[in-house]
Amino acid sequence: MDSDILNSMENLHFTEAESETVITEPVSTEEEDSSLWLVGSVITKQPVKGEEVCRIFRSIWKTKNVSEIIELCPNFFLIKPVSVDAHTMILYRQPWVLDDDLFSIVSYNPAWRLADFDFSRMLI
């Protein structure tokens, strides 16, 4: 497919005015590295407010440590630390508590479903 596009582009010609407005940017084909990601679960019977959890922990961990916190579904969150040090700090400074409920965090495996993660064992 790439060769077809390149062959088609060989016959493409721009006027001087058009060539000034053409902007090319490299396209990244690399997948995002998920080796540092974490997944967390608020252990409670009641659903928590996902936006509130994200805001609170983003405030605690600071943006210099976490690039993103995403609510996957009620009470489950994907956490994207920015470095190995941030990953270690978040994972090993457990237990995290939110309104008297535990927030259990484990390393993320993209091949697993949420039901496959064991949130009952926490590093303390």
Q: What is the mean pLDDT of residues 62-74?
A: 88
pLDDT computed for residue 30 by the predictor: 47
Q: What is the mean pLDDT of residues 12-29?
A: 57
Task: Indicate the pTM of the whole model.
Answer: 0.69
Domain of 57, in residue numbers: 38-116
Q: Is residue 107 assigned to a domain?
A: yes
Q: Is residue 83 assigned to a domain?
A: yes
74 pLDDT higher than 50: yes
pLDDT tens digits, 30-67: 456 788 999 999 998 888 988 998 888 888 888 788 98
Residue 69 sits in a domain whose CATH number is 3.30.70
DSSP letter string over the chain? -HHHHHHHHHT----HHHHHH----PPP-PPPP-TT-EEEEEE-SSPP-HHHHHHHHHHHH-TTTEEEEEEEETTEEEEEESSHHHHHHHHHTPPEEETTEEEEEEE--TTS-GGGS-TT----
Question: Domain total for the chain?
Answer: 1
pLDDT tens digits, 38-47: 999 999 888 8
The maximal CA–CA distance of the chain, rounded, in angstroms, is 67
